């Protein structure tokens, strides 16, 4: 009976090399992830436990990561994220486009929420829609990509009003209140606005029930970057009677989950 021998470089040998090399890299990356999840600083014992490896093995990997500049030790003898890890992270963050990241997540959300979806960023004239995804159910609205949203009468605007610095948003809020009074609409007082925005920050979501678009309900959630700065907002809109706009409902849960997923992709640290 003849036997065949694998030639050097064939798939069998490559698979063997891949198993050894990839496993080592994966363990090293797992240890870096443990450090990141711990806020960038942790002791050896907790690193080993979280990574699922013996302390002696974790120590060997940490020594190699220190030699490469990915890990350092601080004055308390704890392991901390090193300059090379920070440099690579900053390069990755610089290449992230909030519109591109959000677009992929919104397409997934569209299959879970029967409503129109939008992404807005802060522009020269305030909250500006940069992405609009039609609903599977007819929703009659007069907003599209490029439209500006009011700060107080839209859920999207309330997110920006709640999370951007007051020096940026309050001149817009004051003008909006004056405009509401001129049009004889019910205009909130500054103290009422502050209470409403504090509630938005507490819940993490904004809600409107037809104030801007009669018969259209809306929920909105914030998007943050690695500095926990607001970089945008996503919103879901649907017709009254068909769209669940409750703050603790399924649509709110899915919207908030998607916003957190986008924020994490942008480098934000999301805590439970």
Q: What is the mean pLDDT of each run of 10 residues along the chain (272 residues)?
A: 44 46 83 87 92 92 92 90 81 69 87 86 87 72 77 95 95 92 89 95 91 82 92 90 86 94 87 62
Q: Architecture of domain 96-265 in CATH?
A: 2-Layer Sandwich (3.30)
Q: Is the dihedral of CA 213, 216, 221, 225 positive or negative?
A: negative
Give the pLDDT score at 143.
67
Long-range contacts made by residues 66-72, C-beta under 8 angstroms, separation at least 24? 70/32, 71/32, 71/35
The model scores a pTM over 0.85 = no
By the 10 Å C-beta count (0-12 exposed, 13-18 middle, 19+ buried), 210 is classed as: middle
Domain ranges (residues) in the chain: 11-93, 96-265
What is d(CA 28, CA 4) in angstroms, rounded to the nearest whole number?
37
If one looks up domain 11-93 in CATH, what number appears?
1.10.10.10
């Amino acid at each position: 009976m003849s036997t065949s021998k694998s030639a050097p470089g064939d798939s069998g040998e490559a698979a063997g090399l891949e198993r050894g090399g990839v496993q080592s890299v994966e363990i090293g990356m797992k240890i870096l992830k443990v450090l990141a999840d711990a806020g960038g600083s942790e002791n050896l014992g907790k690193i080993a436990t979280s990574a699922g490896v013996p302390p002696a093995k974790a120590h060997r990997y940490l020594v190699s990561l220190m030699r490469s500049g990915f890990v350092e030790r601080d004055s308390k003898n704890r392991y901390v994220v090193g300059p090379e890890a920070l440099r690579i992270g900053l390069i990755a963050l610089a290449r992230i486009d909030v519109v591109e990241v959000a677009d992929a997540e919104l397409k997934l959300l569209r299959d879970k929420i029967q409503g129109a979806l939008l992404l807005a960023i802060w522009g020269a004239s305030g909250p500006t829609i940069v992405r609009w995804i039609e609903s599977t159910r007819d929703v009659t609205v007069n907003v599209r990509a490029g439209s500006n949203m009011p700060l107080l009468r839209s859920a999207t605007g309330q997110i920006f009003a709640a999370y951007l610095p007051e020096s940026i948003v309050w001149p817009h809020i004051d003008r909006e209140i004056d405009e509401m009074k001129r049009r004889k609409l019910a205009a909130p007082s500054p103290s009422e606005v502050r209470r409403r925005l504090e509630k938005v920050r507490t819940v993490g979501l904004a809600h409107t029930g037809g104030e801007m678009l009669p018969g259209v309900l809306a929920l909105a959630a914030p998007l943050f970057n690695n500095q926990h700065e607001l970089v945008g907002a996503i919103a879901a809109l649907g017709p009254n009677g068909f769209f669940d706009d409750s703050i603790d409902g399924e649509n709110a849960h899915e919207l908030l989950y998607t916003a957190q997923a986008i924020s994490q992709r942008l480098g934000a640290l999301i805590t439970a």
